[in-house]
């Protein structure tokens, strides 16, 4: 299939070689909407070779290109810019290629293997709104990378050990009275999260009491009996105490069952799940190796550090004085084992921006240890998600629970769809399925259309606007086109004769938009940016709706023109479905 930008570039380079004996620094860009033309050549870099004014150089180059290239219909010059207009027959040929390619936009196999880690929850609480952004971002980037021809391995590292887990376990032991998910009717992750909040409530009460007795707040926090008990429980867990270990396995099992329900509702999955309890000892041998090489140093308390001050950072702890690991130790070992076991070309971590420094250090330490593949570690950093009410606090039980938010989104989608008559004539089963599709589509699109680096404000009702830059708007556009296609099929209208129709300018513009889909997928993959795909899908849907408003399709009397318009509508629907799938969003056949 012809790459249009590459074709235009080759045409311009050939002409500049013949005219000026150079093709260096050729700059091509899409012509701005306020000017006539399809592609613009910036001629300023050619002036030294042409020895003429910008306008004269652009005119001479335009005349040469139009005379030698049938595909270029005309040109115009605006100061130092040459605007080229591509002939409609060229776009008709491109549309024939696009419509015939069922996997249009998908790249051939690249031979690269990329691992992407996302989700990474703690097993002491349910998934919340922040986790939703993480999961949706990670899953979408993985899907986009697959579309770019890469072999993608989706992984989850579950934080299933540490003091935070022991807090939930201890509170359940003290106050749970044998409560289980089955007895309470609660999802397992919600039940364990309930006792994490319970721990914090009792801990604060004990700290307050100790302060009343004369301790400072810092002293009280360290000496609170419930905190000391949690720390003792952690020591017992690390010593594999049978009773503590059994409780840990039981309560984590409840959480995993709950997580699986949430992941399924979100529409995300993983190829492999790692558990911190199995990986936290990894990396110790790397630290010993670094000590031998002189990369690390040992302090008097026996702790091991690396000095990164010369690199503009600080000193970083790698092993505590008692020989226990820190997160960095674990991540060093995990990175090494993943690259070696899977022969990775790239490793992407989807983690919030509060960990920017951690990943900067991780890459630098690996580099100093001699692992050149550290350059292929990427931290896909994202900002926090806030609600109109403000920030969330998990210890205080004020987080926006993922399950509750998903259910609320589906409920809101049902309510707004009913109000607008989008579900008229649908059976209860169809209405429920469409509401789920629209609710989840609204949530996913609203989150993924934002640049990951930005902190975002999530407004549930705004996300389900059927007329704005939203998932439901794009979903409805797809459903509208599918309705047109069904009516055409019922009427026995054929699309075989579409190639003989002449294109009007609005159709050329739609084909131009369709032709940009492969480059959009490629850019989104290079930048790890679902927002690029979201913007494309919205623009295409908006452009089609304008076209549909101005041009009759089913009532068009010219058979060839009607066939062309139907074919064009069908390819737009197919492309919208493909683009939304890259965001993990399903589109309905009817609405």
Tokens representing 129 are 């709104």
CA atoms of 417 and 411, how far apart (whole Å): 10
Backbone angles phi, psi at 586, to 5 degrees: -85, 150
Q: What confidence tens digit (pLDDT) does each residue in 504-539 have?
A: 999 999 999 999 999 999 999 999 999 999 999 999
Mean pLDDT for all residues in the chain: 93
- Strand, helix or coil for residue 49: helix
**CATH number of the domain residue 554 falls in:** 1.10.730.10
Among residues 59, 86, 113, the one where a domain terminates is 86
Q: Is residue 577 part of a domain?
A: yes
Report H helices in 69-128.
88-100
Is residue 234 one of the residues assigned to a domain?
Answer: no
Residue 142, CA distances (Å) to 135, 139, 168, 270, 451 in order: 11, 5, 33, 10, 16
Token code pair at residue 394: 């998990």
**Full DSSP string of 508-525:** HHHHHHHHTHHHHHHHHH
Report yes or no on 159 lying in a domain: no
**pLDDT digits 0-9 by tens, 523-581:** 999 999 999 999 999 999 999 999 999 999 999 999 999 999 999 999 999 999 999 99
What is the pTM for the complete model shown? Answer: 0.92
Residue 111 within a domain = no
Residue 582: name the closest of 271, 268, 270, 147 by CA.
147
Average pLDDT over residues 192-209: 96
**What does the DSSP assignment read for 190-215?**
HHHHHHHHHHHHHHHHHHHHHHHTT-
Evaluate whether residue 149 is within a structural domain: no
d(CA 293, CA 291) in angstroms, rounded, equals 5
Which domain covers residue 10, as residue numbers?
Answer: 4-86
Is residue 504 assigned to a domain? Answer: yes
Helix (H) or strand (E) holding 526: helix 517-527
195 token code pair: 């006792």
pLDDT value at position 399?
66
Residue whose pair of structure tokens reads 């049938």 in the numeric block: 70
Query: CB neighbours (10 Å) of residue 282?
Result: 20
The answer to whether the beta carbons of residues 517 and 104 sit under 8 Å apart is yes
In a domain, 205, yes or no: no
- The residue out of 86, 106, 124 marking a domain boundary is 86
Average pLDDT over residues 74-80: 94
304-307 and 72-78 beta bridge pairing: unpaired
DSSP-derived 3-state class of residue 153? strand
> How many domains would you assign to the chain?
2
47 has a pLDDT exceeding 90: yes
Neighbouring CB atoms inside 10 A of 18's CB total 11
Provide the CATH number for the domain around residue 70.
Answer: 3.30.1360.70
Structural domain contains residue 387: no
The 10s digit of each residue's pLDDT in 58-72 is 999 999 999 999 999
Query: Mind giving me the DSSP string for 431-470?
Result: HHHHHHHHHHHHHHHHHHTS-TTS-EE--HHHHT-SSSSS
Residue after which a domain boundary falls, among 62, 86, 110: 86
Who contacts 163 (Cβ-Cβ below 8 Å, separation ≥6)? 230, 231, 234
Digit-coded pLDDT (tens) for 117-165: 999 999 999 999 889 999 999 999 999 999 999 999 999 999 998 899 9
């Amino acid at each position: 299939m012809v790459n249009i930008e590459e074709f235009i570039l080759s045409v311009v380079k050939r002409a500049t070689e013949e005219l000026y004996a150079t093709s260096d620094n050729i700059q091509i860009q899409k012509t701005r909407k306020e000017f006539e033309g399809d592609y613009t050549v910036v001629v300023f870099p050619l002036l030294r070779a042409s020895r003429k004014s910008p306008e004269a150089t652009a005119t001479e180059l335009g005349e040469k290109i139009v005379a030698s290239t049938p595909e270029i219909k005309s040109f115009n010059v605006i100061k130092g810019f040459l605007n080229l207009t591509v002939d409609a027959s060229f776009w008709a040929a491109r549309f024939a290629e696009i419509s015939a390619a069922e996997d249009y936009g998908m790249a051939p196999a690249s031979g690269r293997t990329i691992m992407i880690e996302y989700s990474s929850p703690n097993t002491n609480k349910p998934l919340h709104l922040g986790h939703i952004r993480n999961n949706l971002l990670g899953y979408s980037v993985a899907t986009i990378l697959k579309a770019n021809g890469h072999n993608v391995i989706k992984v989850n590292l579950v934080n299933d050990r540490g003091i935070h887990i022991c807090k939930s376990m201890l509170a359940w032991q003290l106050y749970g009275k044998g409560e289980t998910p089955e007895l309470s009717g609660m999802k397992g992750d919600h039940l364990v999260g309930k006792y994490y909040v319970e721990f914090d409530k009792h801990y604060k009460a004990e700290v307050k009491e100790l302060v009343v007795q004369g301790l400072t707040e810092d002293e009280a926090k360290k000496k609170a009996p419930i905190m000391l008990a949690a720390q003792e429980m952690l020591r017992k867990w690390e010593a594999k105490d049978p009773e503590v270990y059994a409780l840990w396995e039981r309560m984590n099992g409840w959480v995993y069952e709950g997580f699986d329900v949430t992941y399924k509702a979100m529409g995300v999955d993983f190829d492999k799940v790692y558990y911190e309890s199995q990986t936290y000892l990894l990396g110790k041998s790397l630290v010993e190796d670094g000590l031998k090489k002189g990369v690390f140093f040992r302090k008097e308390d026996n702790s091991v550090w690396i000095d990164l001050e010369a690199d503009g950072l600080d000193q970083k702890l790698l092993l505590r004085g008692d020989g226990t690991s820190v997160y960095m130790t674990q991540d060093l070992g995990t990175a090494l084992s993943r690259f070696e076991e899977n022969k990775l070309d790239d490793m992407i971590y989807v983690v919030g921006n509060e960990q920017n420094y951690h990943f900067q250090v991780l890459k630098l330490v690996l580099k100093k240890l001699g692992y050149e593949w550290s350059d292929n570690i990427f931290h896909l950093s994202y900002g926090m998600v806030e609600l109109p009410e403000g920030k969330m606090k998990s210890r205080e039980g004020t987080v926006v629970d993922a399950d509750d938010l998903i259910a609320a989104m589906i409920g809101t989608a049902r309510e707004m769809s009913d109000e607008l008559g989008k579900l008229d004539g649908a059976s209860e089963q169809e209405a429920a399925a469409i509401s789920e599709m629209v609710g989840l589509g609204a949530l996913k699109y609203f989150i993924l259309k934002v640049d990951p680096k930005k902190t975002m404000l999530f407004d549930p009702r705004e996300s389900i606007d059927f007329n704005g830059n939203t998932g439901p708007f794009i979903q409805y556009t797809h459903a509208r086109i599918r309705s047109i296609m069904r009516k055409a099929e019922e009427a026995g209208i054929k699309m075989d004769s579409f190639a003989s129709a002449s294109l009007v300018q609005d159709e050329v513009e739609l084909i131009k938009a369709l032709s940009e889909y492969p480059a959009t997928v490629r850019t989104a993959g290079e930048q790890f940016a679902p927002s690029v795909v979201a913007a494309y899908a919205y623009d295409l849907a908006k452009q089609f709706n304008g076209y549909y408003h101005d041009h009759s399709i089913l009532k068009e009397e010219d058979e060839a023109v009607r066939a062309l318009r139907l074919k064009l509508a069908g390819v737009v629907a197919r492309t919208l479905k493909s683009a939304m799938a890259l965001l993990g969003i399903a589109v309905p056949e009817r609405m």
